[in-house]
């Protein structure tokens, strides 16, 4: 059991007024413990779930040697005999036919062959398939002739166990099950798998100015968009997203929402109320309910953020703990902070083995202003230039409230902590949204 001061000690090693992104990522990961609970689900419900067990292949896949082509199966020894023949050709009598699912059960001699279709079981004593395009068939279809030099013994045959051998690890625990994995599991005859319980993430928006869709927009008010982006980002990761609505900037309401969230979820995400002007209220509350640090990240967008734990019993160590992320209020800052700081921690908690999203190099089409001492995640549009290289252009206004800059973009332009201004033509790192978002 961790004590309430541990997080504060952990954070004290850094300047919370300018916490580097890499330090925040490391702290957050350190505090993310995988949930232990697992359950069995059928294959059709396993997509995007996290495997809780290693999958060892119970059979050879394919189970038997079979033909990789439509053609004729024969004993490859005939090729050596043909080398001696005057014109180097092989002539074989067609003894029968084998289709996928309909094997040829007879015996053949070295001068015979069997007409086979792709996937057909290799007939006994056959180890080679000549593709139908390479043969000259007699008019009566009773024999074929082909040039021996075009083939080697064993050609066009798929070996038993070639895809997966019996006893070999097919998928590891921690794997997020994707479409190909479902197919792979089915090919092993496995109908259900052990997966981790889905991570439960409760989230709410804070702010007296927020209005829900359908309400009238009074002067100074905005529609609550963060709850929808959060919902979508959580669903994409297949988490159980628990929407707790909009909470007013009022101590009793905030406390109630935090306690409800801690009791029902593994993780609490909130947006708004952590900036300097507003933090007092949330700070006071979340510190009282648990162990929470307030950070000013050396990052743009998304400077203010709170991180820690909140306990359902209303005091550190009492009741159930939930990991707490207090995200900034600005809509772009919410998304960027989620992807760059929160996402990995949630995946770890869900039991997943992290697969860092690929970072590509791209030529910057324009100059970009950048101050050293903070990591920037600008929104950009990347495309392949005529020379085949990636080229990226920042999308419009980079203000942290301008959500259209995210919608128009297809990547983050990642400008590292120590990096200064970028000139047009310089190489920058980009992180494509596809696969991330």
Residue 181 contact among ligand AMP, Mg ion, none, beta carbon within 5 to 8 Å by kind: none
Q: x-or-dash pattern for Mg ion, window 267-306, by CB under 5 A? A: -----xx---------------------------------
Q: Which strands make up the sheet holding 112-116, listed edge to edge?
A: 128-131, 71-74, 112-116, 89-98, 143-147, 136-137
Beta strand 38-42 with 359-364 is unpaired
By CB under 6 A, residue 331 contacts ligand AMP: yes
Residue 296 contact among Mg ion, ligand AMP, none, beta carbon within 5 to 8 Å by kind: none
- Beta bridge partners of residue 193, listed in sequence order: 41
Nearer to ligand AMP, 352 or 403 (CB): 403
By CB under 6 A, residue 224 contacts ligand AMP: yes
Nearer to ligand AMP, 221 or 288 (CB): 221
Task: Please identify which residue in the block is written with the tokens 């699912």.
Answer: 101
Residues numbered 300 to 359 that lie near Mg ion (CB under 5 A) are 329
Q: Please select the residue that binds Mg ion; options are 20, 123, 207, 326, rule is CB under 5 A.
A: 207
Return the structure tokens found at 18: 């300018």
Distance of closest approach, residue 220 Cβ to Mg ion, in angstroms = 12
How distant, in Å, are the alpha carbons of 111, 235, 426 from that of 91? 7, 62, 64
290, 316 in Cβ contact below 8 A? yes
Residue 224 contact among Mg ion, ligand AMP, none, beta carbon within 5 to 8 Å by kind: ligand AMP
Candidates 36-44, 205-213, 287-295, 420-428; binding stretch for ligand AMP (CB under 6 A): 205-213
Q: What is the rounded CA–CA span in Å between residue 419 and residue 290?
A: 37
Q: What is the rounded CA–CA span in Å between residue 3 and residue 305?
A: 22
Nearer to ligand AMP, 370 or 379 (CB): 379
> 297: part of which helix (H) or strand (E)?
strand 290-300
By CB under 6 A, residue 328 contacts ligand AMP: yes
Residue nearest to ligand AMP (CB): 329
249, 278 in Cβ contact below 8 A? yes
Residues numbered 54 to 93 that lie near ligand AMP (CB under 6 A) are none
Residues numbered 253 to 312 that lie near ligand AMP (CB under 6 A) are 271-273, 275, 278
Candidates 66-74, 313-321, 322-330, 388-396; binding stretch for ligand AMP (CB under 6 A): 322-330
Nearest to 160 by CA among 216, 114, 121: 121
Contacts of 329 (CB under 8 A, 6+ apart): 206, 207, 226, 271, 272, 273, 274, 275
Residue 174 contact among ligand AMP, Mg ion, none, beta carbon within 5 to 8 Å by kind: none
By CB under 6 A, residue 129 contacts ligand AMP: no
Nearer to ligand AMP, 204 or 339 (CB): 204
Distance of closest approach, residue 331 Cβ to ligand AMP, in angstroms = 5
Residue 121 contact among Mg ion, ligand AMP, none, beta carbon within 5 to 8 Å by kind: none
Contacts of 300 (CB under 8 A, 6+ apart): 374, 375, 376, 377, 400
Q: What is the rounded CA–CA span in Å between residue 401 and residue 229?
A: 13
Residues numbered 215 to 274 that lie near Mg ion (CB under 5 A) are 272-273
- DSSP string for residues in 193-227: EEEEPPPEEEEEEE-TTEE-TTS---TT-EE--HH
List of residues contacting Mg ion (CB under 5 A): 207, 272-273, 329
List of residues contacting ligand AMP (CB under 6 A): 205, 207, 209-210, 222, 224-226, 271-273, 275, 278, 328-331
């Amino acid at each position: 059991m961790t004590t309430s001061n541990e997080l504060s000690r952990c954070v004290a090693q850094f300047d919370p007024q300018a916490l580097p992104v890499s330090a925040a990522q490391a702290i957050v990961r350190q505090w993310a413990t995988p949930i232990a609970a697992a359950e069995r689900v059928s294959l059709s419900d396993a997509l995007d779930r996290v495997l809780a067990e290693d999958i060892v292949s119970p059979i050879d896949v394919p189970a038997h040697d079979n033909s990789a082509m439509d053609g004729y199966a024969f004993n490859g020894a005939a090729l050596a005999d043909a080398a001696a023949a005057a014109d180097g050709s092989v002539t074989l009598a067609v003894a029968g036919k084998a289709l996928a699912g309909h094997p040829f059960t007879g015996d053949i001699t070295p001068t015979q062959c069997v007409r086979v279709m792709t996937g057909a079981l290799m007939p006994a004593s056959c180890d080679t398939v000549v593709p139908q395009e390479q043969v000259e068939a007699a008019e009566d279809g009773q024999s074929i002739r082909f040039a021996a030099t075009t083939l080697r013994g064993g050609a066009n045959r798929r070996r038993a166990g070639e895809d997966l051998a019996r006893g070999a690890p097919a998928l590891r625990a921690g794997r997020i099950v994707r479409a190909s994995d479902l197919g792979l599991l089915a090919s092993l005859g496995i109908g259900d798998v052990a997966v981790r319980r889905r991570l439960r993430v409760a989230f709410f928006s804070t702010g007296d100015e927020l209005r829900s869709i359908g309400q009238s927009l009074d002067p100074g008010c905005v529609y609550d968009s963060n709850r929808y982006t959060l919902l979508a980002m959580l669903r994409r990761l297949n988490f159980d997203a628990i929407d707790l609505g909009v909470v007013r900037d009022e101590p009793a309401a905030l406390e109630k929402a935090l306690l409800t969230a801690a009791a029902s979820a593994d993780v609490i995400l909130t947006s708004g109320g952590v900036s300097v002007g507003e933090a007092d209220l949330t700070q006071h509350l979340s510190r009282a309910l648990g162990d929470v640090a307030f950070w000013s990240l050396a990052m743009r967008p998304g400077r203010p953020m709170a991180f820690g734990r909140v306990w359902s019993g209303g005091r550190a160590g009492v009741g159930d703990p939930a990991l707490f992320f207090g995200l900034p209020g600005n809509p772009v800052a919410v998304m960027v902070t989620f992807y760059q700081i929160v996402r990995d921690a949630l995946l770890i908690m869900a039991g997943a083995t992290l697969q860092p999203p690929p970072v590509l190099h791209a030529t910057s089409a324009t100059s970009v202003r950048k101050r050293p001492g903070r990591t920037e995640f600008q929104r950009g549009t990347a495309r392949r230039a005529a020379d085949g290289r990636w080229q990226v252009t920042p999308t419009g206004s980079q203000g942290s409230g301008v959500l259209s800059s995210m919608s128009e973009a297809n990547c983050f332009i990642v400008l590292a902590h120590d990096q200064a201004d970028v000139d047009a033509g310089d190489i920058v790192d980009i992180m494509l949204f596809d696969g991330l978002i």
